[in-house]
Amino acid sequence: MLPIPIQKTFTYSVTNEEANFLNEGMRVAVSFGKTKMFTGLVFKIHENAPTLYEAKEIHQILDEQPLVNNLQLKHWQWISTYYMCSLGDVFRAALPSAFLLESETIVYKNEAFNNEDILEDDEFLIFEALQHQSQLTIHQVVDILGKKKVMPTVNELIKKSAIYIKEQIYEQYKPKLVKYVRLHASYNSDESLNALLEELSRAKKQRDAVLTFFQLSTTKKPIKAKDLETKANVSASVLKSLVDKNIFEFYEIQIDRINFKGDTNDLKELNEFQETALKEIKETFTNNDVTLLHGITSSGKTEVYTKLIQEVLDAGKQVLFLLPEIALTTQIITRLQVYFGDQISVFHSKYSMNERVEVWNNVLENKSKAQIILGARSSIFLPFSNLGLIVVDEEHETSYKQFEPSPRYNARDSAIVLSKLHNAKILLGSATPSLESYFNAQQNKYGFVELNRRFGNVQLPKIELIDVKEKHRKKEMKGHFSDRMLKLIQEALDEKEQIILFQNRRGYSPVVECKTCGVAPQCPNCDVSLTYHKFKNELRCHYCNYQRAMPNSCAACGSNTLDTKGFGTEQIELELKELFPDFKIGRMDLDTTRGKFGYQKIIGAFEAREIDILVGTQMLSKGLDFDNVSLVGILNADTMLNFPDFRAHERAYQMMVQVSGRAGRSKKQGNVAIQTYNPYHKILQQVSSTNYTEMYKEQLQERWQYKYPPYFRTIKITLKHRDFNKVDTGVNWLFKALYNSFGENVLGPTAPAVSRIRNQYIKNIVIKIPPKQSLANTKNQVTKIRNTFEAVKDFRPIRFIIDVDNY
Ligand code: ADP
Ligand code: ZN
Ligand code: ZN
């Protein structure tokens, strides 16, 4: 199996000895194409030579033991078939990149060459560089020539026999080694020690180091070089000279980068409602492998999970706890570590490559510190050998779905398949379940348990809708705040309580528009207007990250009447600073949470009550638990409701109920205020009464009527190319071909709302699959049509993207 997007495996030849040594799931280095070297994974060892090509020999065996087990291989195959992607795509996504060593082309000088006159200018530059250093990487050649396309020059040099090239493989993972100090073997008698101190009497610093060493060694623990330096107050060079004198020795121990240090507590005692829920979950598990726990916000679902986890650990099995990416960097890790300490390993994208390798290895070896994996979606790929339980917290979250790049999988659904492979149970938890999961529970496909009481019997927050159209008419708005919202904020501040304000958009204001001619500055690479970021006074594209300084005048008409319209988090923050100058305002969005500890910093400050009002985007809705928040404000509910997507209403409901759930979690009932132009909107009414079932029934009705999931499944096909006409011709051909097979159930072709991104034109087609139509047959047919499409020479350069369950 090679980490490339080609839908097949490849056969390489091995010797008998190699075949005996190799096992499925081990990595081998193999060459592919003319010069490329790849990390391949052994998928099958067999004796059938390929008929269409000659099997090459493998280059090197990279593992002593399989890195990937058979259950994983089965799981990957399912993902590849179901999501219509190559096994290689899954392989590449599954392994931490450090395991996928890559080759690099290295350029060497041919010592025998002396005919410099025949070299062109560029060629000479490379040749000359090789006089100063023995080898060059292609990257260095690129730097030397100052251009990207260097292979023609390199090839020319090879032809002229001036250089030769080799592929060099490099291993990327670096174990973290800690340097320790011990005494050289010749000094273990007391006499020799006295002699030693005598000898050092004139080297004061070195003597200090040795004396401190003896102090520290009374504890019999290994002594870190760094610790000795600090305690003895000497520099690294002092230790080094002692090593040179054969008095000390350095040695190294490999350690994990992430280690839990701290105390653990017992699990909390459950209240009667949680007890009942736990009992019911266990009952459903006798008949069902999947159970949905619908528990309102702050009902204490996490505590229920911990009890289940404990039982599975006691039975000697592993647990996978899936969370949306963002929730992971915050409180839940700490909360679970208090109970399970160093049995937990965490796995998510803000971890470095090396940290991820360590987690992988710990799971592979079933180490005690990898009994519970807390992870984001990609942790479903870890080498579990005996999973007993998977918990999918906030199962409705969109971030479980990977949209780009392939494999475009849904981690919740893939986790269900994974649990089946392990004969494990899986619990989906949410206060606002996805329509599909709730539907499956209603159909008795999943077990179903409810938890309807907030912990401590705190009531769900009081939710009020504020009609901003009315407020504008009566001139009761200050900036983007209604007088009512301001009053509620003031009341909470007076009580020394905290406030969360939700604005589903970052930046200062989404659009800048010329008041004279109405033109808005556009991204040069995408079909979208630029967003204004006031702090840096610049315009940015949220699709391709293009940025430029805010212009003084309109590019179209030249007048200096550029004006901002709409509003984002940054603008809200500034307005608040003016309205409440004595209070501390914080902001949490993509722009303020970059870096590994970005989230923790802001959330930590809010927890420590160093921030009074926190303004943020939807990342505020993900499973946070603050005990002093009494007011949650949603500044503009309408953008969420008007989103052009069949799930917009479901999503808007989930998001608003989740953010509301951050209010009044511990003591008294909280308040939620929602500003809207449309207070009679059904969804807002359902949010204000937290009526999930009514939302569910109504949405389900619409899904049936308009033929959407959970009744119909969908597959989305996207075509992309720089040339508009090419995509257009391609998509029309494709539409007809699909229409011939699926008729009315093919929708499109359409251009998405942003129809050009990074200079690529985009067209979409959606295929709907009716309840009784076979998924497998449909996918086979789509694959056939795709193969024909790609056989057409004109269409071949068009990017063809398939997204199964594209929602
Ligand atoms: P949910 O995940 O359902 O929103 P949490 O598990 O975060 O709810 O619980 C809400 C709050 O109540 C947390 O601060 C939690 O520590 C507390 N809590 C929940 N159950 C218990 C319990 N049995 N004993 C003590 N505190 C609890
Ligand atoms: Zn752009
Ligand atoms: Zn203008």
Determine the Cα–Cα distance for residues 77 and 89; give it in Å rounded to an integer: 11
| Ligand 1 atom closest to 295 (CA) | 3
Q: Is 85 assigned to a binding site?
A: no
SS3 544: coil
CATH of 713-804, one of 3.40.50.10490, 3.30.70.100, 3.30.70.600, 3.30.450.20: 3.30.70.600
Tokens of 705: 């009527």
Name residue, tokens 């209603």.
Answer: 442
Close Cβ partners of 413 (under 8 Å, ≥ 6 residues apart): 805
One-letter amino acid at 167 equals E
Q: Domain map of the chain by residue range?
A: 103-170, 185-246, 272-455, 462-508+567-702, 713-804
Cα(394) to centroid of ligand 1, in Å? 15
Neighbours of 187 (CB within 10 A): 17
Give residue-wise pLDDT tens across range 274-317. Answer: 999 999 999 999 999 999 999 998 899 999 999 999 999 999 99
What pLDDT does residue 529 have?
Answer: 79
427 backbone dihedrals φ, ψ, rounded to 5°: -115, 120
Close Cβ partners of 716 (under 8 Å, ≥ 6 residues apart): 764, 765, 766, 767, 802, 803, 806
Chain Cα centroid distance, residue 153: 40
Average pLDDT score over residue span 86-112? 84
Close Cβ partners of 438 (under 8 Å, ≥ 6 residues apart): 292, 294, 696
Smallest-distance ligand from the CA of 563: 3
| Ligand 1 atom closest to 270 (CA) | 23
Q: Is 557 assigned to a binding site?
A: yes
Cα(455) to centroid of ligand 1, in Å? 6
Close Cβ partners of 599 (under 8 Å, ≥ 6 residues apart): 326, 329, 330, 588, 593, 619
Structure confidence at residue 785 as a pLDDT band (50, 70, 90): very high
Mean model confidence pLDDT for the chain: 88
Q: Which long-range contacts (CB under 8 A, 24 or more apart) does 529-535 make?
A: 531/506, 531/507, 531/568, 532/507, 532/508, 532/564, 533/507, 533/508, 533/570, 533/591, 534/508, 534/509, 534/570, 534/571, 534/574, 535/508, 535/570
Cα(422) to centroid of ligand 1, in Å? 30
Reference 446, options 429, 462, 471; nearest CA is: 429
If you ran DSSP here, which 8-state letter would residue 401 be given? B
CA angle, corner 770, sides to 765 and 771, nearest 5? 140
Ligand 1, pocket-test mutation among 271, 276, 296, 302, most atoms within 8 A of CB: 302
What pLDDT does residue 397 have?
Answer: 92
Structure confidence at residue 172 as a pLDDT band (50, 70, 90): low
What sign does the dihedral 471-475-481-483 (CA atoms) show? negative
Cα(545) to centroid of ligand 2, in Å? 6
565 vs 508, 514, 642, 674, 804, CA distance in Å?
A: 9, 10, 18, 21, 37
Determine the Cα–Cα distance for residues 352 and 346; give it in Å rounded to an integer: 12
Determine the Cα–Cα distance for residues 645 and 570; give it in Å rounded to an integer: 26
Residue with the smallest CA separation from ligand 1 atom 10 is 298
Structure confidence at residue 42 as a pLDDT band (50, 70, 90): very high
What pLDDT does residue 623 have?
Answer: 62
Smallest-distance ligand from the CA of 269: 1
Task: Please state which of the ranges 281-295, 317-331, 404-418, 459-473 shows the lowest mean pLDDT.
Answer: 317-331
C-beta separation of 88 from 4 below 8 A: yes
Ligand 1, pocket-test mutation among 298, 393, 394, most atoms within 8 A of CB: 298
Task: Please state which of the ranges 338-342, 643-647, 746-750 shows the lowest mean pLDDT.
Answer: 643-647
CATH topology for 462-508+567-702 is: Rossmann fold (3.40.50)
What pLDDT does residue 10 have?
Answer: 94
Determine the Cα–Cα distance for residues 256 and 176; give it in Å rounded to an integer: 7
Name residue, tokens 């070089």.
Answer: 225
CATH superfamily of 272-455: P-loop containing nucleotide triphosphate hydrolases (3.40.50.300)
| Ligand 1 atom closest to 627 (CA) | 14
Determine the Cα–Cα distance for residues 429 and 309; give it in Å rounded to an integer: 14
Average pLDDT score over residue span 450-455? 91
* Predicted confidence (pLDDT) at residue 174 exceeds the cutoff of 70: no
Cα(426) to centroid of ligand 2, in Å? 41
C-beta separation of 427 from 436 below 8 A: no
Reference 762, options 753, 772, 773, 771; nearest CA is: 753
SS3 597: coil
Structure confidence at residue 132 as a pLDDT band (50, 70, 90): confident
C-beta separation of 385 from 69 below 8 A: yes
Structure confidence at residue 257 as a pLDDT band (50, 70, 90): low
C-beta separation of 196 from 210 below 8 A: yes
Tokens of 661: 């759930």
Average pLDDT score over residue span 139-156? 80
Cα(58) to centroid of ligand 1, in Å? 55
Average pLDDT score over residue span 332-344? 88
349 backbone dihedrals φ, ψ, rounded to 5°: -70, -15
Q: Is 554 assigned to a binding site?
A: yes
Cα(656) to centroid of ligand 2, in Å? 29
Structure confidence at residue 630 as a pLDDT band (50, 70, 90): very high
Structure confidence at residue 173 as a pLDDT band (50, 70, 90): low
Smallest-distance ligand from the CA of 559: 3
Cα(556) to centroid of ligand 3, in Å? 5
More confident of the two residues 133 and 490: 490
Determine the Cα–Cα distance for residues 374 and 324; give it in Å rounded to an integer: 10
Smallest-distance ligand from the CA of 522: 2
What pLDDT does residue 509 have?
Answer: 56
Give residue-wise pLDDT tens across range 576-627. Answer: 999 999 999 998 877 766 666 677 788 888 888 999 999 988 777 766 778 8
Give residue-wise pLDDT tens across range 476-532. Answer: 999 889 999 999 999 999 999 999 999 876 555 567 877 777 778 888 888 777 888
Cα(522) to centroid of ligand 2, in Å? 8
Smallest-distance ligand from the CA of 754: 2
What pLDDT does residue 168 have?
Answer: 66
Q: Is 544 assigned to a binding site?
A: yes
Tokens of 3: 């980490």
Ligand 1, pocket-test mutation among 625, 626, 662, most atoms within 8 A of CB: 625
Give residue-wise pLDDT tens across range 407-425. Answer: 999 999 999 999 999 999 9
Cα(270) to centroid of ligand 1, in Å? 9
What pLDDT does residue 526 have?
Answer: 80
375 backbone dihedrals φ, ψ, rounded to 5°: -150, 165
Residue with the smallest CA separation from ligand 1 atom 15 is 300
Average pLDDT score over residue span 623-645? 83
Name residue, tokens 């047919």.
Answer: 781
SS3 281: helix
| Ligand 1 atom closest to 301 (CA) | 3
681 backbone dihedrals φ, ψ, rounded to 5°: -60, 135
Smallest-distance ligand from the CA of 299: 1
CATH topology of 103-170 equal to that of 462-508+567-702? no
Who lines ligand 1 at CB under 6 A? Answer: 268-271, 274, 295, 297-303, 455, 625, 665
Residue with the smallest CA separation from ligand 1 atom 25 is 268
Structure confidence at residue 768 as a pLDDT band (50, 70, 90): very high
CA angle, corner 585, sides to 582 and 586, nearest 5? 160
Structure confidence at residue 60 as a pLDDT band (50, 70, 90): confident
C-beta separation of 695 from 465 below 8 A: no
Residue with the smallest CA separation from ligand 1 atom 6 is 300
Tokens of 788: 């024909």
Determine the Cα–Cα distance for residues 680 and 659; give it in Å rounded to an integer: 20
Structure confidence at residue 148 as a pLDDT band (50, 70, 90): low
Give residue-wise pLDDT tens across range 527-553. Answer: 777 888 877 888 888 777 788 898 888
Residue with the smallest CA separation from ligand 1 atom 17 is 300
Close Cβ partners of 637 (under 8 Å, ≥ 6 residues apart): 652, 656, 674, 675, 676, 678, 681, 684
Residue with the smallest CA separation from ligand 1 atom 16 is 300
One-letter amino acid at 492 equals A
Residue with the smallest CA separation from ligand 1 atom 23 is 270
What pLDDT does residue 491 have?
Answer: 95
**CB-proximal residues (5 Å) to ion ligand 2:** 523, 525-526, 541, 543-544, 546
Reference 603, options 591, 617, 593; nearest CA is: 593
SS3 256: coil
pTM as predicted: 0.81
Report percent pLDDT > 90 for the chain.
51
More confident of the two residues 365 and 105: 365
Cα(297) to centroid of ligand 1, in Å? 9
| Ligand 1 atom closest to 269 (CA) | 23
CATH of 103-170, one of 3.30.420, 1.20.58, 2.30.29, 1.10.10: 1.10.10
Neighbours of 40 (CB within 10 A): 26
